Structure 1
Amino acid sequence: MDFANFLIQLLNSLQYGLLLFMLAAGLTLIFGIMGVVNLAHGSFYMLGAYLAWALTAQFESLTVAIVVGALLAVAFGWLLEWLLFRHFYHRDHLDQVLLTFGLIYIFEELRSILWGDDVHSVAVPEAVSQSIQLTENLSYPVYRLVVSAVCIVLALGLYGLISKTRLGMKIRAGAFNREMAEALGINIRLIHGVVFALGVALAAIAGMVAAPISSVYPGMGSSVLIMCFVVVVIGGIGSVRGAMVAALLVGLVDTFGKVLLPQIAGMAVYMLMAAVLLYKPEGLFKQ
């Protein structure tokens, strides 16, 4: 593999890993702070992709579609937490699994009714539709670099929110000891609503920015859900930092595995997970 091909695969793995982080960060926050096993998290990724397709056709701008779609995702997440999830915090994980598994089928049916079952494409914005020429025959799309940059900015924003703000302090307090936080006057229900809405928004934004790359198709959320859980398990449940490290590791292993070892590429990520859990059963980072 020459340097140009290596650079392309490295950038692809970075972009894929950062998208996985966007998904896994929301999932690990919801599970680590609220204790909810959310199997429907991949459906929010699918929702974002379909919103990108529908809103881009409406506004003729992917940027506007992402902004509007993110606001709609926050409102949808807040409503969903208020209607359903807050009633399952103290229930068994089996009840949560059954609820969220049922939501997958409900969201798939609603997607079919609203947008049909066809595969759709979302055009890359003209301003970032160019490619960077690496060699005479190889180039790299600017839009993929933009996706990586957007994910990095959001990751830094999430880190700042959780680590540097008063709201983040309340979120961390609620995750560490809910009863004590409530005794100190923190509105845990409000915190849970914010965390769930944030998790839904992150997954939806990941779907929206990925739509021009991966197309928009039925069942696309299920394909990323398993990989998302792998990232959460490797990084450590409840750890945003762990989700970032694990997502980048999974991106590297998956991308370079398909190029260098295609025979075992399908299980390379799971071999990585097994190796990590063998030496650190709680994941790379504790909450």
Structure 2
Amino acid sequence: MNSTLATLAVLDGISYAALVFLVSVGLSLIFGVLRVVNVAHGSFYAFGAYLAATFSLAVAPLSPWLTYPALVAASIVIGVVCGGLIERFLLRPLYGRDDVLQLLITFAAFMIMDNLQRLIWGVQPIFANEPLKLLPNISVFGVNYTSYQVLLLPCVALLTLIGLRYFLRRTLAGAVIMAVTEDREAATAIGIDAKRVYFVTFIIGASFAALGGALALPTTSLVPGMGADMIVLSFAVAATAGLGQIEGTAVTALMIGLARAFIIYTQPEFEVLVPYLLMVLVLLVRPFGLFGATQLRKI
């Protein structure tokens, strides 16, 4: 591999890792607090992308720059509406029940949302790249690359990591979430509403997944099945890092993103295999993930 291809692989890996991290960190946050493996998480990603396309195409004739707030607005709407409804009416009655039942319910929610996606937006590919075209290309070691992918996406991912870490460790609301995570019964005994904490946490996690989908919109075509692909990949990232490990999710997303990018340029037939091969190798050595531990509750 020459230096040009290596540079392209690194840039592709960083860009892809940023999107995967946004989805994976939401999945990891939900598991860390609620102890629920949310299979419907991939649908939040897909719905965020499709709703962002709807909003972007609607506001682009007014001003192309309005497509940026449209991406954020779409992710918030999906997080609040879809995430809120699923937590309140599907998951809340199941807390304390068998984990398999929770898994089946979220899988059913995923299947329902996948069909709703096809019903609302159809099966034809949708593409809206206005946000990508607004930002200029930049040269990195002689390679031209879109600044949207090499600057904006990694910056959003980094700000998400820093902001989430600060929120959980330096704010009162974060302290309440951590208290419920560590010991729900003790937190409830001192007056903390655990159900409200679960509700808010689920919305935040769903919004991150939807944001990942919205930010992916300018770089790819939206097609049915994109949610299924992302939930499998994001679960691989979260499991490799250790479910509930936020900082570890960032490192693992970058590792898998770079490995995937390099394999595309060298052995593209193994692209799909790489993330899951890394996950298997890690879990064989460290069953709790690279950054996981045996604690029952940790985020």
Q: Same fold (TM over 0.5)?
A: yes
Q: Distance in 1 between matches of 2:127 and 2:133?
A: 18
SS at match of 2:129: coil
Partner of 1:141: 146
Q: Distance in 2 between matches of 1:29 and 1:100?
A: 16
Partner of 2:111: 105
Distance 1:248 1:150, change over 3 A: same
Structure 2: runs of 5+ lacking an equivalent: 61-65, 293-297
1:220 Cα deviation from its structure 2 partner: 0.7
Partner of 1:36: 36
SS at match of 2:79: helix
State which of 228, 237, 245 in structure 1 corresponds to 2:234: 228
Does residue 156 in structure 1 map to residue 162 in structure 2?
A: yes
SS at match of 2:130: coil
- Work out whether residues 260 and 274 of structure 2, in 8 Å CA contact, stay in contact via their aligned partners in 1: yes
Q: Distance in 2 between matches of 1:49 and 1:265?
A: 23
1:15 Cα deviation from its structure 2 partner: 1.5
1:133 Cα deviation from its structure 2 partner: 3.6
Does residue 198 in structure 1 map to residue 225 in structure 2?
A: no
Partner of 2:244: 238
Partner of 2:15: 15
Partner of 1:69: 74
Q: Give the aligned residue type for 2:233.
A: M
- Work out whether residues 123 and 224 of structure 2, in 8 Å CA contact, stay in contact via their aligned partners in 1: yes
Partner of 2:255: 249
State which of 73, 88, 93 in structure 2 corresponds to 1:87: 93
1:165 Cα deviation from its structure 2 partner: 1.1
Partner of 2:57: 57
Q: Distance in 2 between matches of 1:257 and 1:178?
A: 44
> Is the deviation greater in 104-113 or in 211-220?
104-113
Partner of 1:219: 225
Q: Distance in 2 between matches of 1:180 and 1:5?
A: 55
> Is the deviation greater in 12-21 or in 48-57?
12-21
Computed over aligned residues only, the root mean square deviation of the Cα atoms, in angstroms, reads 1.8
Distance 1:124 1:9, change over 3 A: farther
Find runs of 4+ consecutive structure 1 residues off by over 6 angstroms.
none
Q: Distance in 2 between matches of 1:267 and 1:70?
A: 30
> Is the deviation greater in 118-127 or in 142-151?
118-127
TM-score, scaled relative to structure 2: 0.90
SS at match of 1:32: helix
- Work out whether residues 53 and 120 of structure 1, in 8 Å CA contact, stay in contact via their aligned partners in 2: yes
Q: Distance in 2 between matches of 1:264 and 1:102?
A: 30
Partner of 2:63: none
Partner of 1:280: 286
Number of residue pairs aligned between Structure 1 and Structure 2: 286
1:193 Cα deviation from its structure 2 partner: 0.7
Determine what percentage of the aligned residue pairs are the same residue: 33
Q: Give the aligned residue type for 1:96.
A: Q
TM-score, scaled relative to structure 1: 0.93
- Work out whether residues 132 and 219 of structure 2, in 8 Å CA contact, stay in contact via their aligned partners in 1: no
Q: Give the aligned residue type for 1:42.
A: G
